[in-house]
Amino acid sequence: MSQIIDKAEAGMNARQYHIGIAPGEVGTVALLPGDPFRVPLIAEFLTDVTDVAHNREHRTMTGYYKGKLITATSTGMGCPSTAIAVEELARVGVTSFIRVGSSAGLQPGVNPGDLLVSEGTLRNDGTTAAYAHHGFPAVPDLELTLALRTAALALPGAGTDYQVLSGLNASDDAFYAETPEWIAELNSLGILNVEMESSALYVVSRLRKLRAGMICACSSNLVDGTSLYDHDPAKLMDGWRNSIVAALDAAVALDL
């Protein structure tokens, strides 16, 4: 007799296998950096911080920002672990997700430290093919996206110290297989920036009726020859901090 497990239902309301979190340990909104070491950076903006769990690449801390309970969980790099993090966080009560990542500019004039608000993702990943037809759009929640842009534009350095840009981005699976031809194609399509997680974040969130958005800090530019990854880490660090504040302000503004 068949005893095939339905993973879409299995393990609901239990301590989750990969993130190591049980219901009641997190709030309803989560900020999602890729890097576990960026979770404590988010916690610097919170009060009453709790170290909740750290299993594999998924580190989680909670705390309060302007009276709101905020969760920060790292996704790791790429769509497979991001889909797992979103699925499992949803099972323990998170309903809104804001990715705060780093991303490479694909148009001239997108500079390290600029804030990039995502309007939609070109799905160049394998994970979401397992979830939905290749034509299914990877798009963020409209209200959350507008709130992220409003919050970013309201930051003190916006428009002077750095730009706030919005547009389409791509999610790639293979950092070192981004050929010059592929980068040129993305550039010619008008894609603003490239990262590696939002495709899974958006598709899984749509299918599970969750909210998702993304604000990235520009780490580098792949088309104007002005920056490599280790050029000016201070600018990227400022960008991360600014994107975190914008995400926190948007979460409070929408009471996510």
Ligand X SMILES: O=c1cc[nH]c(=O)[nH]1
Ligand Y SMILES: O=P(O)(O)O[C@H]1O[C@H](CO)[C@@H](O)[C@H]1O
Residues that bind ligand X (CB under 6 A): 103-104, 172, 175, 178, 194-196, 222
If one asks whether residue 33 binds ligand Y (CB under 6 A), the answer comes out as yes
| DSSP β-bridge partners for residue 64 | 47, 69
Kindly state the smallest distance separating residue 75's Cβ from ligand Y, in Å. 7
152 three-state secondary structure: helix
All residues at 6 or more sequence positions from 221 whose CB lies less than 8 Å from its CB, including other chains: 104, 105, 106, 108, 110, 111, 112, 227
Candidate ranges 15-23, 27-35, 134-142, 154-162; the one touching ligand Y (CB under 6 A):
27-35
- Strand 96-105 and strand 193-195: the pairing is antiparallel
CB 106 within 8 A of CB 222: yes
Kindly state the smallest distance separating residue 185's Cβ from ligand X, in Å. 14
Structure tokens at 222: 């792949």
If one asks whether residue 213 binds ligand Y (CB under 6 A), the answer comes out as no
Kindly state the smallest distance separating residue 187's Cβ from ligand X, in Å. 13
CB 218 within 8 A of CB 110: yes
| Contact partner at residue 57 from ligand Y, ligand X, none, CB < 5 to 8 Å by partner kind | none
If one asks whether residue 175 binds ligand Y (CB under 6 A), the answer comes out as yes
Q: How many CB atoms lie within 10 A of CB 175?
A: 12
All residues at 6 or more sequence positions from 160 whose CB lies less than 8 Å from its CB, including other chains: none
| Contact partner at residue 101 from ligand Y, ligand X, none, CB < 5 to 8 Å by partner kind | ligand Y
Nearer to ligand Y, 155 or 196 (CB): 196
Residue nearest ligand Y (C-beta atom): 34
Size of the site for ligand Y (CB under 6 A): 10
Kindly state the smallest distance separating residue 33's Cβ from ligand Y, in Å. 5
If one asks whether residue 195 binds ligand Y (CB under 6 A), the answer comes out as yes
Nearer to ligand Y, 93 or 107 (CB): 107
If one asks whether residue 77 binds ligand Y (CB under 6 A), the answer comes out as yes
DSSP state of 43: H
83 three-state secondary structure: helix
Nearer to ligand Y, 71 or 102 (CB): 102
The rounded distance, in Å, linking the Cα atoms of 65 and 48 is 9
Nearer to ligand X, 16 or 199 (CB): 199
Residues 1-20, one symbol each (x = binds ligand Y by CB under 6 A, - = not), give: --------------------
For 136, counting Cβ atoms within 10 Å of its Cβ (0-12 exposed, 13-18 middle, 19+ buried), the class is middle
Query: How many Cα atoms sit within 13 Å of 86 on the Cβ side?
Result: 32
| Contact partner at residue 92 from ligand Y, ligand X, none, CB < 5 to 8 Å by partner kind | none
List interacting residues with ligand Y (CB under 6 A): 33-35, 77, 101-102, 175, 195-197
